Structure 1
Amino acid sequence: MLENSPESARTIRSELLRPAPTEPTAYGRLPFRQPAIERIERSDGSFLLRWSDDAAVGLRERPLSADAPTTTVAANVVDWLSVWAAARPEAICLAERESSGAWYSVTYAEAWQQIRRIGGELRRRSVAHAGRHGLPIVPIAMLTGNSVRHALLTFAALYAGIPVAPVSPAYASPGGDRGQLRSLLQVLGPACFYVEERTAFAPVATELGLDSAGLVVGSGPDNDWSALLAGDEAIAQSGHETAHGKALAKVMFTSGSTGKPKAVVMTHAALAAAQAIAASVLEKIPDTQQVALDWLPWHHVMGGNIVLHRCLRMGTALHIDAGRPAPGAIAATVANLRELSPSQYINVPLGFGLLATEMERDPAFATRFFSKLEYLTFGGAALSRDTEDRLQRAAERAVGHRIAICAGYGATETCGPGISTFWPSNGADALGLPLPGVSVKLVPVADRYELRIAGPHLFSHYLGDAQASAAAFDEEGYYRTGDAVQWAQSDFPGAGLRFDGRLGEDFKLDSGTWVHVGSVRARLLAALGSFARDVVVTGENRRFVGALIFIDEAACRTLVPDMAHLGYVELASHAAVRTVLRIALERANTGRRASSKHIKRALVLPSAPSRDLGEVADKGYINQRAVISNRRESISALYAEVAPADVVCAPIDQQTD
């Protein structure tokens, strides 16, 4: 890898990039600003990308108001709550389904009043624990899923200067990884733990030896909510006076998909800048209130920062979705979307695929979904061409035009935003161009580029890990993402960047040849179309590249009539599914005989991905490392001297030497 420094990286030339103009009637009215991105080519082969000075109004602090420019930065993201409490006091701020099925909601005026009282009580409880781990006030750990009270507690803590640390509730669920939870809590050293119900969490607290006095309970018998609402607003206000700038605001853990989870420290300045960056790509804040429905978990940056903080910045009516992007669990999302017509909608590719199936089954559902929609955003994984085409067909039937499908790329370490296609893009692996205020560096690595990011929204360090903190940044202050990218169109850089895999996922065959996992995986997924949920590429220190396939049950059931009633296990072993895989394998290998690009064998995994074993992340994508660790029997079959009958082999005339 080439190293860059101000001294060694001399500018060779600079040019402005503009995405191709969009015909308004093709996609409807889009709310985005038109960018002019400066591309700087440097003598060491690297590139810098950033909004040009004449195209972007600088991000900066200004007086807050409902009509403030989108580039306005608040000192504390929760300060926006007071703006909407004044401008839209009776408008919905947060809503969720009650057990009766009715919506329970909190208005902006109610939220603004409640978070100051809750903040006072939280600060009173937390201040007694000051000084641990070198922090003025230790964090409160949020050990629960998304809820109205979870959101209010988060806003209250941020307002009152108490660090928030959302932790995956899966660790505290039956069968959850207690060892991992214990490890994360040891890093945090929290003074308080927020849970929804005391009874459900009691066994976990006992097992981990947690002090019951530190529990803050939101619901159920013997809860603390009344006590929280009786807090002293003056105490919260006192804490708020220091809750800005470099003060610690939030600690979020990385997913651990390529290693041990790291505790990412986010300051108030970084969170405020991140939200301004995300908003600043819009021409203006809409005059009418936007409606959002979202399930994305708040212990991940996409849900916990981008979505939840967007509610504060935009004055959105955020409806919390109890559905999930999984067969069966998607039903709750569909039911909600039959009532709500979102203004924008964010999901992971798996979720969009399931919704596309429902739109094809019920055109009235598609009409309701698209009726007020401005654009879709996906993240977490690449959107398949098949899913994109199905969504566009549904949109054209429902509202008479295509819908802008925008990619979003960020990381926990960027506190959310980074790169986006803020224009209609056609590309499953599209990433786009940097958002206003973000600077991107592309560093050559063989035939690709490593993506690095700089800006006021970056994290400060990893809690308790000085070595990893130092290694995370290069000598120019850019965060090393570990992701590889390419130009989406080599002859038109205005089309932006495309994802080309995780550098940490790449491996060598036993011949010493490097395999770029991202490109191999994307090629086979494209060949399989809707029949595969995901692909896991194998072959590290082995003689050839292989692939493990998770099938899409709904798509596979359409192959022949007698498959309509079959479950995953029966489908995985069906001859029709193996035929599809054989054809796809041949298609993916066409013109690629090199051992690093040629997939010699593939196997449909005999069971669906397991959440309990960590194979499915909270956002619905597949954890490749966990699958390879758990599916050793399948990998042994894949690399057996004589391939078993259920292993699909590439045609002899395609195989490499």
Structure 2
Amino acid sequence: MEPVSLKEIPFAEVNFAARDLLTEHRADGSIILKTNIPLGPYPEQLSDYLRHWSDSDPDRKFLVERDPAGAWRPISYGQAVAAADSISQALIDLGLSSTKSNTSRPVVALGSNSIEMGLLALAAMQIGVPFAPISPSYSLMSGDFSKLKYIIDLINPALVYVPEAAPFKKALDHVLGPNVPIVSGDGAPGFLPFTEFTSKTPGPDFAQVYADVNGDSIAKYLFTSGSTGMPKAVITTQRMLCSNATAVCQLLPVLDDHPPIIVDWLPWNHVAAGNLNFNVILRSGGTYYLDMGQPKPGEFETTINNLKDIQPTFMQNVPLVYERLAPYLEEDDAFAKHLFSKMDFMLYAAAPMPAPVQQRLDAVSAKAVGKRIPFISSLGATETAPACIMCHWPSEAPGNLGLPMPGVDIKLVPNAGKLEMRVKGQNITNGYLGNEDATAAAFDEEGFYCMGDAVKFVDPDNFAEGLQFDGRVSENFKLTSGTWVQTGEVRVGALTAISPLAQDAAVTGDMRDQIGLLLFLNQVECAKAFNLSAEISLSELAENTDLRAHLTEKLAAHNRQQKGSSRRISRLMIMTEPPSVQDNEITDKGYLNQMATLTARQALVERLYEDDPAVLVLS
């Protein structure tokens, strides 16, 4: 009997919206895409959703986390409204609200996801006080706290929350002035105890302060990754949040068929979880299980145990997590059946999904439940709240990002042989706090936000088949983990480590799990360093064992000094042909054109990630 192809196994039937694409071709070569599905109604603010579910089903679980003993501790929608309103009153008593202060001064949160943080976010936003979650790494893993200090100076917080005082004290002492109140979840001496915030009774002014919040109210300041400099504070309004949550649920109506359940580790200081996951759960009356695991050695077991305990109806994660998850499911049939039995779909974002990973999970779900669980994807940014396009159908095309969201116009602009994607809609930011230059540069003459991403059509003859990621218009890129790689810094670091033996290097790794280099040698310096003939060719140098060993040693030492995958170089190939002027690999100023080099040498980039004798694999 012939083995059954995965493509012959049907996808699970899921309630997705039908595609209805409108297309406009312009004389300048640009293309406008939009859906014919109109954006549905949405409330003035997120907490209207919270109140709806509190009124209709007050005992339904909203947020759930592990207590110190390891048991799940839930807070219901009814309890969440009461707690959030109490915290709002505490903030009002401190002089924070849309009517009592300059509402641009936010409440800052420095910790990891928690029920306390979720309640504080809702409490602040529902009275017109922006919420600003900041990556804990800026406080806990930084030597000089430079990014944290920059952010604090920029946003001038009215209050700071930490889950525990001790781990954050050094950072707080370094960046905060003496007059900023700090609330601590553990009630440490010298800090305001969080328990006092949840024991307040809302006063007579609370209802009016709540009613004053509207779509234009600033809900959050969310921060860009800072991969190209200091983080930018993205102004995020209630309209952005509510309209995007509505648009997502319009394309994925399955989210309203039954209360969605998610088990999620992604941090709320990032837009994917803090906006999309949190707000979709809130809008659809779902339950959010907080996963304290991480896709790191020694920590992923926590995620696995949580997934064995809870059956999510959807997942939204970076491809790296699905890759880490695959072997656990392949080795444990019972776990696979448990996980997929209630799963409607799996969503990935932040980086492209490697086809082999998707195929492995397709095979596991087919074996476990007899059908493939649809993988869908989306593309967005912190500035877009986040979803701009979404694949809302089962697709065989790897990396299918889908089509425009309701209420979003997509403009595809020809740029250096690619189609640059620009977006306009009610989910798009007005700009960056305190950075007029960056705000002006982010939008084109028609008011479209310039994302910096390039896309291509899955089927150029049928646009309705969706869009695929086609790299960054700029040189920086993401690994499959979702981690940004700053090409310039990687290049300079590598060239410094092996100086003076290299002329230049092109950095690879876009849509990959590792950084690589296409290395252009300095023939003169290499010949001198290894007592070789000045006439030695690049091909001969590329095969020189002493040179290869030296490069491997120096770059391995360089890697040991790097803190994360965004700086470590894993693979290297020595180029045997110099940069080509004809292929625009070398600029008129003598600089290596990264994008042109990678395009011209795409076959070598592919070889770099294969088991090829020309490749140096670095530790």
The bucket for the TM-score relative to the shorter chain is 0.7 to 0.9
Q: 1:159 to 1:36 in 2, by over 3 A?
A: same
Aligned partner letter, 2:47: V
CA contact (8 A) 1:252 1:300 kept: yes
Encode CA deviations 1:465-491: one digit per residue, 9 max, x unaligned.
011111111111110001111112223
Q: 1:177 to 1:244 in 2, by over 3 A?
A: farther
- Whether 1:26 and 2:10 are equivalent positions in the alignment is yes
- Residue 47 of structure 1: aligned partner: 31
1:120 to 89, 94, 110: 89
C-alpha deviation, 1:137, in angstroms:
4.8
Aligned partner letter, 1:146: N
- Residue 219 of structure 1: aligned partner: 186
In the alignment, the residues of structure 2 paired with residue 36 and residue 550 of structure 1 have an alpha-carbon distance, to the nearest angstrom, of 29
Q: Tell me, what secondary structure is at the counterpart of 2:256?
A: coil
Q: Tell me, what secondary structure is at the counterpart of 1:280?
A: helix
2:564 to 598, 602, 615: 615
In the alignment, the residues of structure 1 paired with residue 451 and residue 370 of structure 2 have an alpha-carbon distance, to the nearest angstrom, of 40
CA contact (8 A) 2:147 2:231 kept: no
- Residue 394 of structure 1: aligned partner: 364
1:38 to 22, 25, 31: 22
TM-score (norm 2): 0.78
2:163 to 164, 184, 196: 196
- Residue 179 of structure 1: aligned partner: 146
C-alpha deviation, 1:32, in angstroms:
1.1
CA contact (8 A) 1:326 1:351 kept: no
CA contact (8 A) 1:609 1:615 kept: no
CA contact (8 A) 1:50 1:434 kept: yes
Aligned partner letter, 2:160: F
Aligned partner letter, 1:102: A
1:385 to 336, 351, 355: 355
- Residue 131 of structure 2: aligned partner: 164
* Structure 2: tracts of 5 or more residues without a match: 1-6, 493-501, 515-547, 578-607, 615-619
In the alignment, the residues of structure 2 paired with residue 455 and residue 551 of structure 1 have an alpha-carbon distance, to the nearest angstrom, of 31
- Residue 88 of structure 1: aligned partner: 57
- Residue 253 of structure 1: aligned partner: 223
Aligned partner letter, 2:207: Q
- Residue 105 of structure 1: aligned partner: 74
Aligned-residue identity in percent:
31
**Greater Cα offset, 200-209 or 494-503:** 200-209
In the alignment, the residues of structure 2 paired with residue 483 and residue 647 of structure 1 have an alpha-carbon distance, to the nearest angstrom, of 23
C-alpha deviation, 1:129, in angstroms:
11
- Residue 121 of structure 2: aligned partner: 154
**Greater Cα offset, 537-546 or 203-212:** 537-546
2:269 to 269, 274, 299: 299
CA contact (8 A) 1:603 1:648 kept: no
In the alignment, the residues of structure 1 paired with residue 89 and residue 503 of structure 2 have an alpha-carbon distance, to the nearest angstrom, of 59
Q: 1:608 to 1:436 in 2, by over 3 A?
A: farther
CA contact (8 A) 1:534 1:550 kept: no
Q: 1:609 to 1:393 in 2, by over 3 A?
A: farther
Encode CA deviations 1:244-281: one digit per residue, 9 max, x unaligned.
12121110011122343111001122222121122221
- Residue 111 of structure 2: aligned partner: 144
CA contact (8 A) 1:126 1:137 kept: no
- Residue 494 of structure 1: aligned partner: 464
1:90-489 map, 5 Å: 90-127=59-96, 135-175=102-142, 178-211=145-178, 214-222=181-189, 224-234=193-203, 235-283=205-253, 285-489=255-459
CA contact (8 A) 2:245 2:283 kept: yes
In the alignment, the residues of structure 1 paired with residue 99 and residue 168 of structure 2 have an alpha-carbon distance, to the nearest angstrom, of 25
CA contact (8 A) 2:104 2:218 kept: no
CA contact (8 A) 1:550 1:608 kept: no
Q: 1:386 to 1:177 in 2, by over 3 A?
A: farther
CA contact (8 A) 1:377 1:406 kept: yes
C-alpha deviation, 1:359, in angstroms:
0.6
How many residue pairs get aligned? The number is: 528
Aligned partner letter, 1:36: D
Q: 1:380 to 1:603 in 2, by over 3 A?
A: farther
CA contact (8 A) 1:117 1:236 kept: no
In the alignment, the residues of structure 2 paired with residue 385 and residue 447 of structure 1 have an alpha-carbon distance, to the nearest angstrom, of 25
In the alignment, the residues of structure 1 paired with residue 347 and residue 259 of structure 2 have an alpha-carbon distance, to the nearest angstrom, of 19
Aligned partner letter, 2:87: I
Encode CA deviations 1:33-89: one digit per residue, 9 max, x unaligned.
10201111111000000012xxx2x33xxxxxxxxxxx3301001110011111221
Q: 1:89 to 1:315 in 2, by over 3 A?
A: same
In the alignment, the residues of structure 2 paired with residue 647 and residue 160 of structure 1 have an alpha-carbon distance, to the nearest angstrom, of 52
CA contact (8 A) 1:123 1:162 kept: no
TM-score (norm 1): 0.73
Q: Tell me, what secondary structure is at the counterpart of 1:26?
A: coil
C-alpha deviation, 1:124, in angstroms:
2.3
Q: Tell me, what secondary structure is at the counterpart of 1:120?
A: helix
Q: Tell me, what secondary structure is at the counterpart of 2:23?
A: strand
Encode CA deviations 1:81-113: one digit per residue, 9 max, x unaligned.
011111221111100011211011101110011
Encode CA deviations 1:577-615: one digit per residue, 9 max, x unaligned.
xxxxxxxxxxxxxxxxxxxxxxxx9979749989x9563
C-alpha deviation, 1:535, in angstroms:
9.7
Q: Tell me, what secondary structure is at the counterpart of 2:325?
A: helix
Q: RMSD value over aligned CA atoms?
A: 3.6
In the alignment, the residues of structure 2 paired with residue 209 and residue 379 of structure 1 have an alpha-carbon distance, to the nearest angstrom, of 34
Encode CA deviations 1:506-532: one digit per residue, 9 max, x unaligned.
7xxxxxxxxxx79xx99xx9xxxxxxx
C-alpha deviation, 1:415, in angstroms:
1.2
Encode CA deviations 1:104-123: one digit per residue, 9 max, x unaligned.
11011100111011111113
C-alpha deviation, 1:218, in angstroms:
2.0
In the alignment, the residues of structure 2 paired with residue 31 and residue 550 of structure 1 have an alpha-carbon distance, to the nearest angstrom, of 30
C-alpha deviation, 1:310, in angstroms:
1.4
CA contact (8 A) 1:143 1:167 kept: yes
In the alignment, the residues of structure 2 paired with residue 607 and residue 359 of structure 1 have an alpha-carbon distance, to the nearest angstrom, of 36
CA contact (8 A) 1:114 1:152 kept: yes
C-alpha deviation, 1:342, in angstroms:
0.6
CA contact (8 A) 1:25 1:401 kept: yes
Aligned partner letter, 1:31: N
In the alignment, the residues of structure 2 paired with residue 429 and residue 286 of structure 1 have an alpha-carbon distance, to the nearest angstrom, of 26
Q: 1:547 to 1:393 in 2, by over 3 A?
A: same
CA contact (8 A) 1:603 1:638 kept: no
In the alignment, the residues of structure 1 paired with residue 152 and residue 491 of structure 2 have an alpha-carbon distance, to the nearest angstrom, of 36
- Whether 1:75 and 2:24 are equivalent positions in the alignment is no
In the alignment, the residues of structure 1 paired with residue 512 and residue 20 of structure 2 have an alpha-carbon distance, to the nearest angstrom, of 42
C-alpha deviation, 1:290, in angstroms:
2.1
Aligned partner letter, 2:132: A
* Structure 1: tracts of 5 or more residues without a match: 1-22, 60-70, 507-516, 526-532, 554-600, 617-622, 653-657
In the alignment, the residues of structure 1 paired with residue 108 and residue 80 of structure 2 have an alpha-carbon distance, to the nearest angstrom, of 21
In the alignment, the residues of structure 1 paired with residue 98 and residue 175 of structure 2 have an alpha-carbon distance, to the nearest angstrom, of 19
